[in-house]
Every structure is written in structure tokens, then in C-alpha cells.
Amino acid sequence: MAAAVCALGVGSAVVGLASVAGAVSPTWQSRSVAWTTAGPVQATVDGVSCTSATQCVAVGSALLPDSTGATGAFVANLVRSTWVQGVLPLPTGAVDAAMSGVSCPSATTCFAVGSYDVASSGSTVAHGLVETFANGLWTPVVGLDPPGASTAALTAVSCTSRRVCNASGSAQLGPAPGSYAFVSGLAGGAWTAVVPPLPTGVTSDSLASTLTGSSLSSVSYSATSACLAVGKVGTQGTGFAEQLAGTTWTADTSLPSTTARSSVSCVTTSFACTAWGKGPVVESLSTGVWSQATTAGLPYGGSQGIAGTCVSATSCLAFESLGNSAFSGVAVLTGTNGIWTSVDLPGPADAALVQVSCSTATCVGVGTFYDASGQQFTAIVDLVRGRWVQVAYPLPMLYLYFPSVSCVTKTCVVVSGQ
């Protein structure tokens, strides 16, 4: 049976929905749902996290319907199959805010991350922001910037419980140009921000050092928290990784290559991780040792980063956007017991898939594509009985922003915005 999939789009005071269930070749339907309250006139959705088929949270930013033109932190909650949207409470003194990611370790607990702006000398200054959902209420958490930061923003988050959570972002430290990667971690009921040490010989200077990936992967084992984050220095710079053991971050200098890594995924049953980079480069971490997979025969990727995920220590897949003389489109890379193979996806040649989510029952990849007239649309591919199927026009026109996806058992939710 195919996965049940729902796509949500937010913008222009309506919510666009598309759903499918139980079909060998999924048939999608779209509809618009009016805002239930006076709300934003335009919104973008940048992250979604689901704990069940009827319990999800999506976050992003929204243009507020007032004379200020400010941007608010958007949230949409799926509760018992009904979407309810609103604007998150902001910290005191905030003039606007935007959320970039969300992680819900349970149906009653969620953490959304982003940034908020405060007025400063005729301009605005950004600071890291966490919005915590507990006891039915959203509460802003501030004071998340690393020491000495003049500006900061959080972009990714991964949480395993209401007490263990890690968010990553970038910050400018003092008046010097360039930004540094930093991590804010929740442990013992308190958030602590640190700037992980870079590998020896790597400096930020005027280059940006950022932790990137589809998520900042976090696992717990033997009562010890462990995290892995991957990234790069500069736009096309050296790749590096950071590991958290207990409360200490260290630069991992044992990676087999210096390729910039765009995605990382760790399984929750053990600290086994896989990281991907352009090339393609596939590296696996097991029992504390990195190894590089043989990728001979796999297609060489284009400018887009690889988006990957693992459902177990021995089963992973990733989407690679291609652009070469042999093929232009998207390839699916599948890894089983360390052996990687690839297939070309059906659909438009200029599709770009930016995120993937897998459950024990299915996988869904999301991105965007352009039709023959140059109109941009949301792209969704669904794994149905071992075959990849492209979902044609799952959302109404003009939902242009890169979507996000979250899968639980046989249900997936895709969010996009206008």
C-alpha cells in the first residue's frame, strides 16, 4: 500500500491541501482552506515535524496584517486532522521574527528555532530564538547567542526528548567580518551556547563557517548525549565535522576527505552516522571510526548539495541534483550494508529535491521544478512498492518556496509557502 501523503501550502490568507492514500499510483487532490482567524496575508513555511499521522507542527515566517509590515513567526498545528494556524509570541522588544526549523520529540513537546530582530541605532540586530511548546502553550526562549556575538540566528534543530535538544546556526563575533558556526544545547533545563572549535589550520576570517545539513542529528545512548554536525568553511570551502560527547564539542579531524558536506543523518539506536557531499562523497561513522564508501560508477553531482537520511545503520538513501552532459535531473542514491547504487528519477529535467524523509514504510522527497512555460511548482516524489513516482502538481500554483517533509509510518506531510 502506498503511503498516505498530505501537502500543505500557506500564503495569501489560504491554506492549500493535497492528499492521497492507499493507491498504487497515487492520485492527488488540492483544495484551499480559508484562515480561521484574522492572520498573515502571506507566509513561508520552512520546517515541519510530525509525531503521528494526525499530529504535526509546521513553522516559518509571515507578513503581519498591520501597518508596520513586520514579519512574525508563523506556526501551523495539525491536531486530530485539523490544521490551526497562528503567530508565535515574540520576546519583549522584538520587532519581527522568522522560524527556520522545528523538532517535536513527542506529541506534547516541540522546539522551533530561528531568529528575532530588535531595533538598534536606526536599524535592527538579529538574535537566536527558540520557541518551546509545552503544556499547550508556545513560549519564546532568548539568551541563546554565543558569548561575544553581535548578531546570531539558529537554522536547524534536533531533539530527542523535552530535556535533550541541540540547535545550530551562525553568529558574528564582535565587529570582525565573517560568521562562525555555533550550537545552543538544552541540558538540565538550561540552554548553553558554544562556538565549537574548528579543525587546526581552519579559520573563519571573512569566510562563513556554518553547520549545515538536513538536520543536526542527535542521539542518546547509555545515558550519554551524542551529536554530529557537518559543514564547510566558505561557499565552496573545506568540509569539517563537529562531535558532541557529554557537554563538550570537538572538531573531528579523522574524516576521509576534505569535501564540503551538505547533509548528515544519524540513527537513534546507536551512534552510527552517514554524511554526504558533492561528488558524490559518502562517509559513514561506526564505532567511532569514519570510512569512505566506494562511489565509482555513481553519477557526478551538480551544484546542489546532497540531501540524505538513514532509517537504520545499514540502510540509507539520498537525492543528488545532477547537471552534466549525460543527464540533467535528480538521482536517488541507495546504500545497503555500505554498497551504494543509483537510479535516475522520472520527471522534469530541471527538478531540484532539497529534502527527504523516510519512515519504516515509505520515503518522500521534496523540492521544486519548472514547467515548459517557466512556472515554478512544488516537486514531490513518493516511493511506492519499490518504485519512485512523481506527484504531478500536488499544490496550487504560486507555492514557490522550497518545501519541507516529515514522514511517520505510512503518512507524510509536505509544507510549502507563497
Mean pLDDT to the nearest integer, 65-83: 71
Cβ atoms of 365 and 355 closer than 8 Å: yes
Can you give the pLDDT at residue 211? 46
Peptide bond into 403 cis (omega under 30): no
- Determine the residue type at 252: D
30-39, 225-234, 307-316: which has the highest mean pLDDT? 307-316
What pLDDT score does 115 carry? 95
pLDDT-derived band at 225 (thresholds 50, 70, 90) equals low
Please state the rounded mean pLDDT for residues 253-262.
77
Least confident stretch, 53-62, 130-139, 210-219, 373-382? 210-219
Cα distance between residue 170 and residue 260, in whole Å: 17
Residue 223 has pLDDT above 70, yes or no: no
pLDDT score at 393: 59
All three cell numbers of 99, joined, read 522560524
Query: Rounded mean pLDDT of the chain?
Result: 74
pLDDT classification of 230: cutoffs 50, 70, 90: confident
Judged against a pLDDT cut of 70, whether residue 377 lies above it is answered with yes
Confidence of residue 328 (pLDDT cuts 50, 70, 90): low
- Where is pLDDT greater, at 286 or 392? 286
Q: Which residues pair with 385 in a beta bridge?
A: none
pLDDT for 31 equals 46
The CA-atom distances, in angstroms, between 44 and each of 8, 9, 110, 304, 330 are 11, 8, 19, 21, 25
Closest CA to 303 of 277, 282, 322, 326: 322
Choose between 364 and 393: higher pLDDT: 364
CA–CA separation, 112 vs 415, rounded Å? 15
Q: What is the CA radius of gyration of the chain?
A: 20
Beta strands in 280-409 (DSSP E): 281-286, 289-292, 307-312, 315-323, 328-336, 339-344, 352-358, 363-370, 376-384, 387-391, 404-408
Residue 6 has pLDDT above 60, yes or no: no
Residues 22 and 5: beta-carbon distance below 8 Å: no
The model's confidence at residue 241, banded by pLDDT at 50, 70 and 90, is confident
- pLDDT-based confidence at residue 235 (cuts at 50, 70, 90): low
Q: In this structure, what is the dihedral angle of CA atoms 137, 73, 215, 255, given to the nearest 10 degrees?
A: -130
pLDDT band at 390, cuts 50/70/90?
confident
Looking at this protein, which amino acid is placed at residue 216?
L
Q: Is the pLDDT of residue 366 over 90?
A: no
Mean pLDDT of 145-168: 88
β-strands 411-417, 4-11 pairing: parallel
Q: Within 13 Å of residue 183, how many CA atoms lie on the same side as its CB?
A: 31
User: Which of 18-22, 187-191, 245-249 is predicted with the least confidence, judged by mean pLDDT?
Assistant: 18-22
Asked whether residue 411 carries a pLDDT value surpassing 50, the answer given is yes
- Which of 213, 209, 231, 220 shows the shortest CA–CA distance to 157? 213
Q: Residue 396's pLDDT band (boundaries 50, 70, 90)? A: low
Contact 331, 308 (CB under 8 A): no
Q: Are 183 and 196 in contact (CB under 8 A)?
A: yes
- 149 in the Ramachandran plot: left (φ > 0), alpha (ψ -120 to 50) or beta? beta
Task: Specify which residues 355 forms β-bridges with.
Answer: 366
Give the rounded percent of residues in the chain with a pLDDT score beyond 90.
12
Least confident range of 27-31, 251-255, 326-330: 27-31
Q: What does the alpha-carbon distance between residue 345 and residue 325 come to, in Å, rounded to a whole number?
A: 16
